[in-house]
């Protein structure tokens, strides 16, 4: 042990000034980040964009000099190194060099820890960020050391590094541009497809997934093993082979990795759909299964489309779902309507709303279709301040016919339809505290609300982000396709609903229009601008004066941004039948 | 007595080239062994094999009773090594290098180290990179002597040294070996350097060990024989004893090197091959002369007659 420390002290002494300079750059990088975080403004924007990057690059460049200097001072290649004929065992030398690497690693992590602690980042966040930082930096140091351990001088180290990068890029370009022809000709593609299922964790939005962590851990561990092998055996050829194999680890893991240990266990919703279905006395509903559902048929009306002899007749009606549990809402997936005259003759229908998801035709203002009661229920009976008027869920159906004679009659029809529908409930997908002066975390970014003030139309929120360099351990468990606050409100398949919630007051606010866009795009994408403003305005006339006065900075202090996702809790089919379906002739109109 | 260095058919090849071929030798403790050979003969490769800096292609070597491939800190703490090719931490001062080496050796003798520094007149506070070549070699020697090694291996230590430094160096080693009875293994391509030191000599050429014996025995069996032949037209007989090296006739003066000299036998053999030979004079040879004679014999194209 004494000898390990002795060799370590020698290395430390040798590189003292370089080490000090590297440390100063490191401190400068974090100090500058801190300064920006507290003082970030538009004036500092440009500087903030390039200076941390430059300091980061410089610290990395320093390591590219420091590590080879330390390793090659006691070279493992050749037969002329000073230590080879001195009573310094290989394990002692390896331990001393590793101690040096650990010192560098620890210093960097400590500086980052201190920096984040000063900024007020929570211990849990610091722990997560430090882990990923240590892992990534450790891997970087290890692989520099490995290359240095296989080369006798810095010049050859640089050449080996340059050649490796050039070959990697060459291979990449070859594979991208020419490889497919070659590879397919020798049958490799089919082999890869066979043995490498498409990685379900890839995402262009982030690298934050289990693959990235697996690559980092494996690269680090493999690098350490290969380095130890070279130190303990000094078998250059085998070590070079190990390095070449190691360089292939990353693409291999990325291609073959199948285990997403960040994925949340699937949530099983056990609600029985039949509980939510109540019989409606106004309509006769026949059920086809145990979870039959009752709809009421509303406001049948007739439209004649076109005025020429080719005009066609359209019958429109509404289907209303009543008496659902407040937290549930319904989407009708398919409707197959039939019209039958009193004489039993079937009206020839040339088109209908059979295959349309009728919920998309909801009369809800044209934006995201919201059932405010369901939103409030999902949030634990939070009162939405600017909720629109809750109307019963109403779905339009239509049937188009060219049979003018039949449709022009005022006689009653028998209407029937086959429905396929899904019952949904909102669930909280993400919750982001927005309290002033505290951190919030959104995927890659650590943000902080720095200033909230009242303005004429609402509030202005200034926020800054702490751009943490290493992120992949920082995310909460999730899969890539439900990243925090990446759910788009207009997503056809899975529309998210964003609500500002003040839990203490039991109130919520639904940002809409520009406010909604700001929340989605500022918090998620443009936070790297470091300083921006959110203005929440009340645009819904239904919110009224009272709500407008309550939405202020004081209200915002305890607010969280919550993203709700619709979750299907059951699917069913039903038959809808109305024997006395009479089209309202007053509603007849013509359109072109 | 167990040899301090022992090799058995030690061989090392680099590709198609055999740098050392089936080298077998024994060096007894307390001896000063001069390992001689021209440049490229395989001296440095042999030393690297002995110190486990290179792995042998075949054969074995034992140092201090341990297989060379198993040399560890315990054995290396008893071996001093100075080579013209060895890297040294040039960023250190002399004192720093000695300070760095000291904890590695349990037998480090501070007083002895100071004495060596004084004897070699080394500036302790000077960085190694700023020292002359001779001074660097001296500094390395101090760092390899201060722990009183059992075995001192010197690989071409005199290359590039001026005669004054060389003389100091040789004198110092002589004193130390006599005082402590160390074993010294010194390789050189120049026999003048080691003639005063060596009590054993090994000569290697093209990877082959040509001879390995005490200096005394070597000098006893080598003689330069000079004699006069009857006429200037006398030619060298086609068949000569294999122990005769580089026979020459210039006018009526003839000479040869007898590698197994026995006064009566050698003179009788000369008379037998040169019946008219007169004035037969045996002359003792220096190590340098013996080495050169051997070197000429082994040359692919023997030097032409003057």
If asked whether residues B151 and B260 sit together in one domain, one would say no
Q: Quick one: pLDDT at residue A483?
A: 36
Residues of A in contact with B72 (CB under 8 A): 87, 89
| Distance, CA of A477 to CA of A483 (rounded, Å) | 9
Cα B224 to Cα B254, B255, B263, B277: the distances in Å are 11, 7, 12, 15
Among B196, B217, B238, identify where a domain stops. Answer: B217
Q: Quick one: pLDDT at residue B47?
A: 94
Q: Quick one: pLDDT at residue A191?
A: 41
Dig out the tokens for B199 from the structure: 């009590």
Which of left, alpha, beta for A588 (phi over 0: left; psi -120 to 50: alpha)?
A: beta
Q: Quick one: pLDDT at residue A422?
A: 78
If asked whether residues B198 and B165 sit together in one domain, one would say yes
Run of H or E including A530: none
Domain assignment present for residue B34? The answer is yes
Alpha-carbon Rg for chain A in angstroms = 33
If asked whether residues B202 and B79 sit together in one domain, one would say yes
CB atoms within 10 A of CB A232: 14
Residues linked to residue A589 through DSSP beta bridges, in sequence order: A303
- Please enumerate in sequence order all residues whose Cβ is within 8 A of that of A365, keeping only pairs 6 or more positions apart, or say none: A388
Find the CB nearest A85 among B76, B91, B105.
Answer: B76
**Residue B66 forms contact with A (CB below 8 Å):** no
What sign does the CA torsion over B195, B201, B202, B205 have? positive
If asked whether residues B248 and B212 sit together in one domain, one would say no
Number of domains in chain B: 2
The answer to whether the CB atoms of A88 and B73 lie below 8 A apart is yes
Find the CB nearest B54 among A79, A81, A85.
Answer: A79
CA distance B89 to chain A (A): 7
Q: Quick one: pLDDT at residue A414?
A: 78
Among B162, B197, B217, identify where a domain stops. Answer: B217
Lookup result for tokens 């929570």: A122
Domain assignment present for residue B250? The answer is yes
What's chain A's average pLDDT? 69
Interface with B, mutate which of A79, A88, A154, A232 (most B CBs under 10 A): A79
Cα A312 to Cα A350, A402, A582, B270: the distances in Å are 10, 5, 19, 139
Find the CB nearest B87 among A80, A88, A92.
Answer: A80
Burial A251-262 (b: 16+ CB within 10 A, else e): eebbeebeebeb
Percent of chain A with pLDDT over 90: 19
If asked whether residues B146 and B268 sit together in one domain, one would say no
Q: Quick one: pLDDT at residue A210?
A: 67
Domain ranges in chain A are 2-152+196-256, 273-370+388-424+570-591, 428-566
CA distance B86 to chain A (A): 5
Q: Quick one: pLDDT at residue B85?
A: 82
How many CB pairs (< 8 A) connect A and B? 47
| Distance, CA of A167 to CA of A161 (rounded, Å) | 10
Domain assignment present for residue B126? The answer is yes
How does pLDDT run along chain B (306 residues), one tens digit per residue?
Answer: 788 999 999 999 998 888 999 999 999 888 889 998 888 889 999 999 999 999 999 999 999 999 999 999 999 999 999 988 888 999 999 999 999 999 999 999 999 999 889 888 889 999 999 998 888 888 998 999 899 999 999 998 877 677 777 777 777 777 777 777 789 999 887 777 777 778 899 989 889 998 898 988 888 899 999 988 887 777 788 888 888 888 888 888 889 999 888 888 888 888 888 888 888 889 999 888 888 888 777 644 333 333
If asked whether residues B186 and B269 sit together in one domain, one would say no
| Distance, CA of A93 to CA of B191 (rounded, Å) | 38
The answer to whether the CB atoms of B103 and A10 lie below 8 A apart is no
- Please enumerate in sequence order all residues whose Cβ is within 8 A of that of A520, keeping only pairs 6 or more positions apart, or say none: A485, A488, A489, A498
What HEC string does chain B produce?
Answer: CCCCEEEEEEEEEECCEEEEEEEEEEECCCCEEEEECCCCCCHHHHHHHHCCCCCCCEEEEEECCEEHHHCCHHHHCCEEEEECCCCCCCCCEHHHHHHHHHHHCCCCCHHHHHHHHHHHCCCCCCEHHHCCHHHHHHHHHHHHHCCCCCEEEEECCCCCCCHHHHHHHHHHHHHHHHHHCCEEEEEECCHHHHCCCCCEEEEEECCEEEEEEEHHHHHHHCEEEEEECCCCCCCCCCCCCCCEEEEEEECCEEEEEECCCCHHHHHHHHHHHCCCCEEEEEEECCHHHHHHHHHHHHCCCCCCCC
| Distance, CA of B242 to CA of B221 (rounded, Å) | 14
pLDDT tens for A413-427 read 777 777 777 778 888
If asked whether residues B176 and B235 sit together in one domain, one would say no
Q: At what angle do helices A210-233 and A236-247 cross, to 10 degrees?
A: 180
If asked whether residues B257 and B172 sit together in one domain, one would say no
CA distance A59 to chain B (A): 24
| Distance, CA of A332 to CA of A329 (rounded, Å) | 10
Q: Quick one: pLDDT at residue A581?
A: 73
From edge to edge, which strands make up the β-sheet containing B79-83? B79-83, B151-155, B183-188, B32-36, B200-205, B208-214
Residues of B in contact with A77 (CB under 8 A): none
How does pLDDT run along chain A (592 residues), one tens digit per residue?
Answer: 889 999 999 999 999 999 999 999 988 877 776 666 555 554 555 565 567 778 888 998 999 999 999 999 999 998 889 999 999 999 999 999 999 999 999 999 998 888 878 776 777 767 767 777 888 889 999 999 999 999 999 999 999 999 998 988 887 777 766 655 555 555 444 444 443 333 333 322 233 456 777 788 888 999 999 999 999 998 899 999 999 888 887 777 776 766 666 554 444 333 333 322 222 223 333 333 333 345 666 666 666 666 666 666 677 667 766 666 777 777 777 777 777 777 777 776 666 665 444 443 333 333 334 677 788 888 888 888 776 655 555 566 666 776 666 566 666 777 777 777 777 888 887 777 776 666 665 554 556 666 666 665 556 666 665 554 444 433 333 333 333 344 444 445 566 777 888 888 888 887 766 656 555 555 544 343 333 445 554 444 554 554 444 567 777 777 887 878 788 877 777 777 777 777 665 544 443 3
The answer to whether the CB atoms of A85 and B87 lie below 8 A apart is no
Q: Residue B21 belongs to a domain with what CATH number? A: 3.40.50.300
The answer to whether the CB atoms of A82 and B86 lie below 8 A apart is yes
If asked whether residues B112 and B198 sit together in one domain, one would say yes
| Distance, CA of A11 to CA of A74 (rounded, Å) | 10
Q: Which of residues 216-255 of B touch A (CB under 8 A)?
A: none
The residue of chain A with its CA nearest to that of B77 is A87
The answer to whether the CB atoms of B87 and A88 lie below 8 A apart is no
The answer to whether the CB atoms of B88 and A3 lie below 8 A apart is no
The residue of chain A with its CA nearest to that of B50 is A85
Longest dimension (CA), chain B: 72
The residue of chain A with its CA nearest to that of B101 is A86
| Distance, CA of A423 to CA of A326 (rounded, Å) | 12
The answer to whether the CB atoms of B104 and A3 lie below 8 A apart is yes
**Residue A381 forms contact with B (CB below 8 Å):** no
CA distance A524 to chain B (A): 52
**Residue A31 forms contact with B (CB below 8 Å):** no
If asked whether residues B126 and B57 sit together in one domain, one would say yes
The answer to whether the CB atoms of A80 and B86 lie below 8 A apart is yes
| Distance, CA of A421 to CA of A328 (rounded, Å) | 13
| Distance, CA of A392 to CA of A394 (rounded, Å) | 6
Run of H or E including A474: none
- Give this prediction's pTM: 0.66
The residue of chain A with its CA nearest to that of B104 is A87
Supply the range of the domain harboring residue B112. Answer: 5-217
**Residue B87 forms contact with A (CB below 8 Å):** yes
Residues of B in contact with A81 (CB under 8 A): 87
Burial A354-384 (b: 16+ CB within 10 A, else e): eebbbbebbebeeebbbbbbbbbbbbeebeb
Find the CB nearest B53 among A2, A6, A84.
Answer: A84
Decide if domain A273-370+388-424+570-591 falls under CATH 3.30.70: no
The answer to whether the CB atoms of B86 and A85 lie below 8 A apart is yes
CA distance B19 to chain A (A): 15
Q: Quick one: pLDDT at residue B63?
A: 94
CA distance A220 to chain B (A): 30
**Residue A17 forms contact with B (CB below 8 Å):** no
The residue of chain B with its CA nearest to that of A87 is B73
If asked whether residues B202 and B269 sit together in one domain, one would say no
What sign does the CA torsion over A22, A28, A31, A37 have? negative
**Residue B76 forms contact with A (CB below 8 Å):** yes
**Residue A82 forms contact with B (CB below 8 Å):** yes
Residues of A in contact with B148 (CB under 8 A): none
Find the CB nearest A14 among B48, B74, B91.
Answer: B91
Q: Quick one: pLDDT at residue B172?
A: 76
Q: Are strands B208-214 and B244-250 parallel, antiparallel or unpaired?
A: unpaired
Residues of A in contact with B48 (CB under 8 A): 79
If asked whether residues B246 and B138 sit together in one domain, one would say no
Domain assignment present for residue B273? The answer is yes
């Amino acid at each position: 042990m004494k000898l390990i420390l002795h060799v370590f002290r020698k290395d430390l002494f040798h590189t003292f000034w370089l080490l000090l300079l590297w440390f100063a750059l490191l401190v400068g990088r974090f100090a500058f980040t801190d300064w920006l975080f507290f003082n970030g403004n538009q004036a500092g924007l440009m500087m903030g964009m390039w200076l941390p990057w430059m300091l980061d690059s410089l610290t990395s460049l320093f390591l590219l000099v420091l590590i080879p200097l330390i390793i090659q001072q006691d070279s493992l290649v050749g037969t002329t190194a000073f230590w080879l004929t001195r009573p310094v065992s290989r394990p002692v030398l390896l331990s001393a060099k590793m101690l040096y690497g650990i010192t560098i690693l620890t210093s960097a992590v400590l500086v980052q820890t201190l920096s984040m602690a000063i900024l007020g980042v929570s211990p849990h966040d610091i722990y997560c960020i430090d882990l990923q930082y240590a892992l990534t930096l450790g891997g970087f140091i290890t692989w520099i050391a490995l290359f240095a351990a296989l080369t006798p001088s810095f010049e050859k180290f640089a050449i080996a590094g340059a050649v490796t990068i050039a070959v990697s890029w060459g291979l990449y370009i070859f594979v991208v541009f020419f490889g497919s022809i070659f590879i397919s000709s020798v049958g490799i593609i089919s082999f890869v497809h066979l043995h490498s299922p498409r990685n379900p964790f890839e995402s262009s939005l982030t690298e934050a997934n289990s693959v990235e962590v697996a690559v980092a851990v494996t690269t680090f561990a493999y690098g350490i093993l290969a380095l130890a092998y070279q130190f303990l055996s000094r078998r250059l050829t085998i070590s070079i082979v190990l390095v070449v194999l190691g360089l292939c680890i990353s693409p291999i893991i990325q291609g073959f990795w199948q285990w997403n240990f960040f994925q949340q266990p699937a949530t099983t919703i056990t609600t029985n759909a039949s509980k939510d279905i109540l019989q409606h006395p106004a309509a006769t509903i026949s059920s086809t299964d145990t979870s039959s559902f009752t709809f009421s048929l509303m406001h049948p009306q007739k439209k004649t489309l076109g005025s020429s002899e080719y005009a066609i007749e359209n019958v429109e009606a509404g289907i209303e779902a009543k008496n659902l549990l407040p937290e549930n809402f319904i989407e009708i997936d398919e409707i197959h309507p039939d019209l039958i005259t009193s004489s039993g003759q079937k009206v020839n229908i040339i088109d209908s709303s059979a295959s349309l998801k009728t919920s998309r035709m909801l009369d809800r203002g044209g934006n995201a279709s919201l059932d405010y009661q369901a939103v409030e229920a999902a949030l634990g009976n939070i009162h939405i301040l600017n909720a629109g008027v809750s109307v019963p869920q109403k779905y339009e159906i239509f049937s188009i016919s060219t049979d003018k004679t039949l449709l022009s009659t005022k006689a009653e029809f028998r209407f029937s339809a086959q429905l396929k529908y899904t019952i949904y409930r909102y669930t909280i997908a993400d919750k982001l505290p927005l309290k002033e002066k505290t951190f919030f975390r959104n995927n890659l970014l650590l943000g902080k609300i720095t200033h909230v003030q009242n303005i004429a139309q609402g509030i202005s929120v200034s926020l800054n982000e702490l751009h943490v360099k290493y992120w992949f351990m920082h995310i909460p468990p999730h899969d890539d396709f439900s990243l925090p606050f990446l759910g788009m409100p207009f997503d056809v398949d899975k529309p998210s609903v964003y609500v500002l919630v003040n839990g203490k007051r039991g109130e919520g606010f639904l940002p809409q229009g520009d406010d909604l866009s700001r929340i989605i795009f500022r918090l998620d994408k443009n936070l790297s601008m470091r300083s921006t403003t959110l203005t929440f305005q009340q645009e819904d006339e239904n919110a009224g004066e009272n709500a407008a006065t309550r939405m202020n900075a004081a209200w915002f202090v305890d607010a969280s941004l919550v993203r709700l996702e619709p979750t299907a809790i059951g699917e069913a089919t039903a038959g809808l039948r109305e024997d006395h379906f009479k089209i309202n002739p007053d509603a007849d109109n013509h359109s072109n | 007595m167990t040899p301090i260095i022992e090799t058995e058919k030690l061989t090392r090849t680099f590709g198609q080239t055999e740098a050392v071929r089936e080298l077998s030798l024994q060096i007894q403790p307390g001896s000063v062994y001069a390992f001689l050979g021209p440049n490229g003969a395989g001296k440095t490769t042999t030393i690297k094999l002995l110190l486990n800096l290179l792995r042998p292609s075949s054969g074995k070597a034992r140092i201090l009773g341990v297989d060379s491939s198993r040399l560890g800190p315990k054995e290396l703490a008893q071996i001093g090594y100075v080579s013209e090719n060895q890297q040294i931490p040039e960023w250190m001062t002399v004192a720093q290098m000695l300070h760095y080496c000291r904890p590695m050796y349990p037998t480090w003798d501070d007083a002895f180290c100071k004495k060596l520094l004084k004897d070699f007149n080394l500036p302790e506070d000077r960085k190694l990179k700023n020292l002359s070549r001779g001074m660097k070699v001296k500094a390395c020697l101090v760092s390899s002597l201060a722990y009183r090694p059992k075995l001192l291996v010197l690989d071409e230590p005199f290359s590039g040294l001026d005669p004054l430094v060389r003389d100091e160096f040789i004198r110092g080693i002589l004193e130390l070996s006599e005082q402590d009875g160390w074993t010294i293994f010194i390789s050189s391509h120049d026999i003048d350097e080691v003639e005063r030191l060596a009590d054993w000599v090994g000569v290697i050429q093209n990877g082959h060990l040509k001879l390995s014996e005490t200096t005394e025995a070597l000098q006893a069996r080598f003689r330069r024989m000079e004699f006069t032949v009857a006429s200037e037209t006398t030619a060298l007989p086609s068949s000569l004893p294999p122990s005769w090296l580089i026979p020459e006739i210039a006018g009526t003066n003839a000479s040869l090197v007898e590698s197994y000299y026995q006064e009566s036998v050698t003179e009788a053999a000369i008379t037998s091959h040169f019946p008219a030979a007169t004035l037969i004079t045996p002359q003792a040879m220096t190590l340098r002369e013996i080495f050169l004679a051997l070197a000429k014999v082994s040359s692919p194209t023997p030097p032409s007659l003057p």
